[in-house]
Amino acid sequence: MKLTRIFIITGIILALGWYGYRVKSERASVGAREKDAKAEQLAHGNARVAEFARRHNAIVDWEDELAKKAGNRYPYSFEIESLLVNAASRPVLVRGTVEDISRRGEKWFVHASSDFNLPTIRFLLECEPESAKRLAAASSTYQQSVILVASINVIEKPDLKATARSDESEGASIEIGPSDVLLARGRCVDWIILDSER
């Protein structure tokens, strides 16, 4: 009787151990498959971006160059201009966010901000009407992430910015000072959204 109980208990322990091993292996396998799928999606995105940049002969390393030039300090406007407005007339690749698409008369503009945020660079890019309409249709979220190829003509830094603040103890105030945002004006050559086929 005792021997039978020992065999039954041993069998239950072995069955539970085997079941636990199978569940853990399956979870690890699912986790590995999900990780591989994410890595493949990222690699596909990077390959897509690399091909997109190659197709337009776009400068892709301007952010790294700017970080090297500036070191530990805030980059100067002329340094940014020397990288974005180049004598070779090559466009630049910008990873950023579409903030707006507007029309002034017959001209269409894409308003975007760069993911590079030291300093904040806003882009105002004239765009072909059909391209702007396609971008608007392809944008699935507010402030859609996008990869732009842009030919930049000028970098401007507004001399002034006004910031309104409201404080219960002191009331409202308006602060006036130098802007910390740069405006890059130019032309949108092309764009892609990584999570779509366009």
Instruction: Name the residue range of residue 130's domain.
Output: 54-160+175-192
Specify if 34 maps to a domain. Answer: no
Residue 43 forms part of a structural domain: no
Q: Is residue 129 part of a domain?
A: yes
Q: Checking DSSP bridges between strand 92-104 and strand 145-156, what pairing results, if any?
A: antiparallel
Q: How many helices (H) and strands (E) does the chain have?
A: 4, 7
Which has the minimum average pLDDT: 22-26, 47-51, 83-87, 95-99?
Answer: 22-26
**Among residues 134, 128, 90, 96, which one has the least CA distance to residue 114?**
96
Give the helix/strand (H/E) hosting 60.
Answer: none
Residue 15 lies inside a defined structural domain of this protein: no
Q: Is residue 28 a part of any domain in this protein?
A: no
Q: Which of 142, 152, 45, 59 is nearest to 98 (CA)?
A: 142
- Residues 48, 60: Cα–Cα separation, whole Å: 13
Task: Output phi, psi for 121, to 5 deg.
Answer: -120, 120
- Percent of the chain residues past pLDDT 90, beyond the cut: 21
Q: Report whether pLDDT(185) > 70.
A: yes
- Say whether 116 sits in a helix, a strand or coil: strand
CATH code of the domain covering residue 78: 2.40.50
Domain for residue 169, yes or no? Answer: no
pTM assigned to the model: 0.66
Tell me whether residue 183 is in a domain.
Answer: yes
Higher pLDDT, 145 or 104: 104
Instruction: Say how many Å lie between the first and final Cα of the chain, rounded.
Output: 73
Rounded to whole angstroms, how far apart are CA atoms 110 and 125?
A: 5
Yes or no: say if 57 and 90 are a contact pair by the CB < 8 Å rule.
Answer: yes
**Number of domains present in the structure of the chain:** 1
Residue 166 lies in a domain: no
pLDDT tens digit string along 95-138?
A: 888 888 999 999 999 998 888 766 788 999 999 999 999 888 88
